[in-house]
Amino acid sequence: MLKTNDTAVAVDVNKAQNESIEGPWQMAWKRFRKNKLAMAGGIILILLILGAVFAPLISPYTLDHMDYTQINKPPSAQHWLGTDQLGRDYLTRMLHGSRISLQVGVFAVLISVVLGSLIGGIAGYYGGWVDNLCMRIVEIVMSFPFLPLAITVSAVVGARLPAEFKMYITMMVIGLLSWTGLARMIRGQILSLREQEFMQAAKALGLSDKRIILKHLLPNTVAYIIVSATLGMAGAIMTESALSFLGLGVAPPTPTWGNMVQNARDFYILTNRPWLWMPPGIAIFLTVMSINLLGDGLRDALDPKTK
Amino acid sequence: MIPVILVISMCIFGIIKLAPGSPVGTNLDPRATPEQKAIERERLGLDDPMHIQYAKWLGRVAEGDLGKSFIYQKPVKDVIGTYLKNTFILNIPVFILAFGISIPVGIHSAVKRYSVFDNFWTVFSLIGLSLPSFFFGLLLIYTFAVKLKILPINGMIEAGSDSTGFAYALEVTKHMVLPGIVMTIGSLASYVRYTRNGMLEVIHQDYIRTARAKGLNEKVVIYKHAFRNALLPIVTLLGYSLIFLLSGSVITESIFNWPGMGRVLLESVTMRDYNLMMAIMMLYAILTLIGNLLADIGYALVDPRVKVD
Amino acid sequence: MSKNILEVKDLRTHFFTDKGVVKAVDGVSFNIQAGKTLCVVGESGCGKSVTSMSVMGLVSKPGKILDGSSITYMGTELTKMSDDQYRAVRGNEISMIFQEPMTSLNPVFKIGFQISEVLMLHKDMSEEQAHQRSIDLLNMVGIPRAEAIVNEYPHQLSGGMRQRVMIAMALACEPKVLVADEPTTALDVTIQAQILELMNDLKVKTNTAIMMITHDLGVVAEMADYVVVMYAGKVVEEAEVKELYATPKHPYTVGLINSIPKLDEDREVLDSIEGSVPNPLYLPEGCAFAPRCKFAVDKCRKERPELKEVKPGHKVSCFVVQEGQA
C-alpha cells in the first residue's frame, strides 16, 4: 500500500464560478418553487385551511341560525349562497363544512401514515417472522376493494354508535383501511436501504444502529411519507365526501361537503335548487385538485427522477 | 391463497356479527311470539359459540347455500346472479374504452413529452382524479337529462318498459351513456398517467439507444422495442382493474340507479340484509384475489425474466 | 498509408439547455483509416461520448450538431443526410457498442432475434438465413453453445457474454467502422482483457476500423494505432500511440501518463493533476486547461490555442509547447 502525502490533496481551482453547495432539502425547495402550479395548489390549500380555521369568525351567520322567512331562497345579497330547507345560510354551512371535511382528511391521513410507517418500518427492519406476519396482514387488508369495505364497516360500526361519533368513525375507517400502500413502500425502502453501500459505509465507520436509523434511513423515507401523506389527504377527503354523500359518513345536521351534495338526491332539489348541491361539489373538487397539485409538485421536487 | 380466503371469510363474518339487530328480527314477522323467536334462534344457531356459528356458516357457503335475502325474499345466489350481470354490462364497455384509449394516449404522451397533446392529457388526468365521481354524475344528469333532455335520467331501462331484442339493447345502451362516461373518465384519469409513466421509464433505457444504433425505424423502436417492455406494468394494471372497476361502480350505480351489484351492496348495507352483505363482500374479496392472480400470471407470461411457480 | 474511411472536421455539438449552452464538443477533428484503431482518450465529461454519438447521428434534443461541422464517411457527408439515409448507415456501415452490457440488450427479446433483426433489416435476409448467420456470429465472438444461446434471453447471460453478443450484433452487417464507447469499463479486468483481445482479432479478420472511446490508458496502450486526447470538448493532442507514450507533449497528456503507476518505479506518492475538470457551462477564457497547468503563462489564460503539428504526425494544442519546445 502506498502512503499518500498530506500535500497531495487536490485543490479546487474553480473559485471563479463560486458554486455553492446545497443540501438536498434546499435543492428540493428550489425545484418546488419553480413549479408554479404546485405553488398555486399550496396557496389555495393554505387559504382553504385558513377559511376552515376561522370559519366561525368569518361566517355571516351562526351555524344553527334558522330564518323561517328565508327558506330555500336562491343566492342573494343577504345570503350569498342562498338558504336551505331550514332557512340556514348556506355560505355558513359551506365554511363550517370545510372544517369537518379537512379535519377528517387530516386525521385519517395521520392515522394511516402512522400505521403505515410503523408496520412498514418494523417489517423492513426486523425481517423474519415479524416481516412475514406484517405482510400477511397487509395482504388481507388489501384483498378487499377499498370502497365496498369502507361502506360496509362504516355502516356496521355507525349503526352501533350514536350519531355524534360518526365523524370519528369515518376518520378511523378511512385511516385504518388506507395504510397498506405506505407500509409496503416503507418496508421496501428500508429493505433496499439496508443493503445499499452507504449503509455498509456507515457501519464500516462504526456508527451505531440508532444513529443509522435516525440520520440515514429515516431521511430517505421522509420524502416518501410527505408525498404519500399529501396525496393521501386528497383521497381521504374524496372518500369522506363519498361516504357522507351515501349517508354512511358524517350525518346532518353537522355539515360536510359530502352530505351537502346529498341534497341532490332529491330530484326537485337537483333540478331547481342548484345552489344547494353545486357549491359543495365544486368545493370538494377545488380542494382535492389543489392538494393533488401540491402533492405532485412535492413528489417532483423531492425525487426528480420520477418525472 | 386458500388460507387468505379463510382469514378473509373470518373477517367478514366477524364484521357482520358486529352489526346490531339480529337475523331473527329480519326473518320473522315482527308480531312473532317469544317462543317463535326462540325457535328461530335455535334454528339459526344464534346461541352457539361464535366459532361454531362460523363453521356452520362456512359449511353452508361451501355447499353453495348463501342464505336468503331479506330484501328480495329470494336466495342470495339468485339475487347476485341477476344483478351481477347488469354490473358487467356496464363495466365491460368501460373497461374496453378505458384501455383502448389510455394505451395509445399514454404511449404518445410519453414519446411527445411536454407537447400540447401531453399537457392536455396531464390536465385531463388531474381534473379526472380530483372531480368526485358522484358530483360528476350529478352534473351530467343535470345537464343532459334534465336541462337538455337528450338522455335518460337513471335506471337501466325505461320504467315499465317491456321491449325485447334490438329495441331492448338500444334502450340499455342509451341508459348506459351517462354512467359509462362517469366511469370511463374516472378510470382514464389514472390509466393514462400510469401508461405514460410506464412508457417513459422504458424510453430512456439503454436498450432503446441500442435499438436506434442498429438503424431501426423510430416506429419499430417505439412500438416494438419500447412498448413490449411497457406492456409489463400495463398487464398488471389489467389484472387489478377487474376489481377496481367493479368496486368503483358502487357510487355510479347508486346515482344512476343502475340495477347492479354496487347498488345491491348499498341496499343490503342500509337495510341490514346480512346474508346479502356477507355474500357480496366475499364475492368482492374473491374477485380481488382473482384479479391479483391474473395480474401475476400475465406478468409472468410477458416478462421472460420471471419464472412461473 | 491506407485511405481515410471516416473524416471528422471541426465537429461542434452544443447542448442548448435552460441553464445555458453546453459546448460538449467544440471543434474536434480526426481521421480514421481502414483496419486501424483510433482511441479517443479523456476524463469523464471531456466530450468523447458525445463525439461518438455525433458520428452515429444519435444526438438528441437539446443537443445539436452545429453547421460547419463535417463528418464524412467514404466520401459521403453524414451531417447532410436525411433520417432515412442515416438509418441505412447505422448498424450497417457504422456500428456502435456501448458501455453497459447489462442494460444494452432488450430484456424481452431473445438473443437470436436481436441479432437477426439487424440482418433482416439491412441485408434483406429471411428469418432462417438470419437465424443461421446469428449462430455463426455468436461462434465468431467466442460464445460457447451458440445454438442454445441463440434462443435464450439476455438475463441468462453474464456481463462479458452480453458484451460479446453486442459485438456480434454490431459486426453482423460487416460495417467498415465500429464505434466502441468504453466497452470494457463495466467489466471485470480478466473479462476486459478477453473482450479487447477479441476485438483485436476481429479487427484483423474483418478489416474493420475501430473508434474506441476510453479513459483507461492501459486500454489505449493495448488497442490503439493512433490516439486523440480530448479535454473540455477539444482535442489537445494527437499522435501515433508509441509516439504519444514515448514523448507526450501537452501538459495534460503528460499528467495523465505520469499518473499511471509503473512496475519498475519505486514511489511513495502517485502523481496527480491538481484541480478538476471545468464545468462545461462555465468554460474559462483562454486555454481550458490553464487553471490546472503547471506551465501556464499569461497568454494561455487569455487566448485559445489551436491544434498545430509540432513534429511530423504529432499535433498539440498548447502555446507553451508550440512556441518553445517543452
Given B215, B225, B303, which is nearest C106 (Cβ)? B225
Q: Under an 8 A CB cutoff, do C279 and A16 touch? A: no
Given C269, C278, C284, which is nearest A5 (Cβ)? C269
C95 neighbourhood in chain B, CB within 8 Å:
213-214
| CA–CA min distance A18, chain C (Å) | 11
A8 neighbourhood in chain C, CB within 8 Å:
269-270, 272
Cα of first residue to Cα of last residue in chain B, in angstroms, is 13
Name the residue with cell 490555442: C305
Rounded CA-CA distance C105/C154 in Å is 7
Of all residues in chain C, the one with the smallest CA distance to A3 is C268
- Is A267 a residue whose pLDDT tops 70? yes
Of all residues in chain C, the one with the smallest CA distance to B209 is C104
**Residues B64/B223, Cβ–Cβ less than 8 Å:** no
What pLDDT is attached to residue C1? 46
**Residues B301/B9, Cβ–Cβ less than 8 Å:** no
Given C91, C100, C108, which is nearest B213 (Cβ)? C91
Rounded CA-CA distance B138/C181 in Å is 60
Rounded CA-CA distance A126/A265 in Å is 51
Dig out the grid coordinates for B255 from the structure.
Answer: 346515482
What pLDDT is attached to residue B94? 93
| CA–CA min distance A30, chain C (Å) | 14
Q: Under an 8 A CB cutoff, do B277 and A246 touch? A: no
**Residues B255/B175, Cβ–Cβ less than 8 Å:** no
Residue C270 phi, psi dihedral angles, 5° rounding: -80, 140
Over residues B91-148, the pLDDT tens digits come to: 999 999 999 999 999 999 999 988 999 999 999 999 999 999 999 999 999 988 888 8
pLDDT band for position A11 (50/70/90)?
very low
CA dihedral A78, A83, A88, A89 (to 10 degrees): -40
Of all residues in chain A, the one with the smallest CA distance to C284 is A16
Given C269, C274, C278, which is nearest A11 (Cβ)? C274
Point out the residues of chain C with pLDDT beneath 70: 1-2, 325-326
| CA–CA min distance B164, chain A (Å) | 29
Pairing state of beta strands C37-41 and C209-214? parallel
B197 neighbourhood in chain A, CB within 8 Å:
306
Dig out the grid coordinates for C4 from the structure.
Answer: 481515410
Of all residues in chain A, the one with the smallest CA distance to B154 is A267
Point out the residues of chain B with pLDDT beneath 50: none
Residue C247 is given by DSSP the state S
Contacts of B132 (CB under 8 A, 6+ apart): A238, A241, A242, A245, A261, A281, A284, A285, A288
DSSP letters spanning chain B: -HHHHHHHHHHHHHHHHHSSS-HHHHHS-TT--HHHHHHHHHHHTTTS-HHHHHHHHHHHHHTT---EETTTTEEHHHHHHHHHHHHHHHHHHHHHHHHHHHHHHHHHHHHTTTSHHHHHHHHHHHHHHHS-HHHHHHHHIIIIIIIS--S--SSSS-TT----HHHHHHHHHHHHHHHHHHHHHHHHHHHHHHHHHHHHHHHTSHHHHHHHHTT--HHHIIIIIIHHHHHHHHHHHHHHHHHHHHHHHHHHHHHHT--SHHHHHHHHHHTT-HHHHHHHHHHHHHHHHHHHHHHHHHHHHH-TTSPP-
What's the complex ipTM? 0.87
Rounded CA-CA distance B192/B185 in Å is 10
| CA–CA min distance B3, chain C (Å) | 34
Average pLDDT rounded to a whole number, residues A81-92: 81
What pLDDT is attached to residue A307? 38
Please, what is the Cα angle at B108 between B104 and B110, to 5 degrees?
120
Q: Under an 8 A CB cutoff, do A160 and B251 touch? A: no
CB pairs under 8 A between A and B: 118
Provide the 10 A C-beta neighbour count for residue B228. Answer: 15
Over residues A209-257, the pLDDT tens digits come to: 666 666 666 767 788 888 889 989 999 999 999 999 998 888 888 888 9
Q: Under an 8 A CB cutoff, do A160 and B250 touch? A: no
Dig out the grid coordinates for A264 from the structure.
Answer: 341532490
C276 neighbourhood in chain A, CB within 8 Å:
10, 12-14
**Residues A114/A171, Cβ–Cβ less than 8 Å:** no
Which of C153, C211, C149 minimizes the C-alpha distance to C181?
Answer: C211
Q: Under an 8 A CB cutoff, do B285 and A159 touch? A: no
Which of C12, C132, C106 minimizes the C-alpha distance to C64?
Answer: C12
SS3 C5: strand
CA distances C175 to B211, C129, C209, Å, are: 16, 19, 9
Q: Under an 8 A CB cutoff, do A289 and B289 touch? A: no
Rounded CA-CA distance B151/B141 in Å is 8
Beta bridge mates, C180: C97, C212
Mutate to test the interface with C, among A1, A3, A13, A19 (most CBs of C within 10 A): A13
Contacting C residues, span 214-243, partner chain A, CB-CB under 8 Å: none
Query: Which chains neighbour A (Cβ–Cβ under 8 Å, 3 or more pairs)?
Result: B, C
Q: Under an 8 A CB cutoff, do A14 and C276 touch? A: yes
SS3 C259: coil
What pLDDT is attached to residue B29? 61
Name the residue with cell 444494452: C104
Given B4, B18, B270, which is nearest A139 (Cβ)? B4
Name the residue with cell 346515482: B255
Rounded CA-CA distance C245/A190 in Å is 50
- Is A192 a residue whose pLDDT tops 70? yes
A19 neighbourhood in chain C, CB within 8 Å:
279
Contacting A residues, span 3-22, partner chain C, CB-CB under 8 Å: 3-5, 8, 10-14, 16-17, 19
Contacting B residues, span 131-190, partner chain A, CB-CB under 8 Å: 131-135, 138-139, 141-142, 146, 153
pTM of this structure: 0.83
Q: Under an 8 A CB cutoff, do C87 and B215 touch? A: yes
| CA–CA min distance B139, chain A (Å) | 8
What pLDDT is attached to residue B25? 55
Whether residue C275 lies within 8 A of chain A, CB to CB, comes out as: yes
C109 neighbourhood in chain B, CB within 8 Å:
225, 228
Contacts of B55 (CB under 8 A, 6+ apart): none
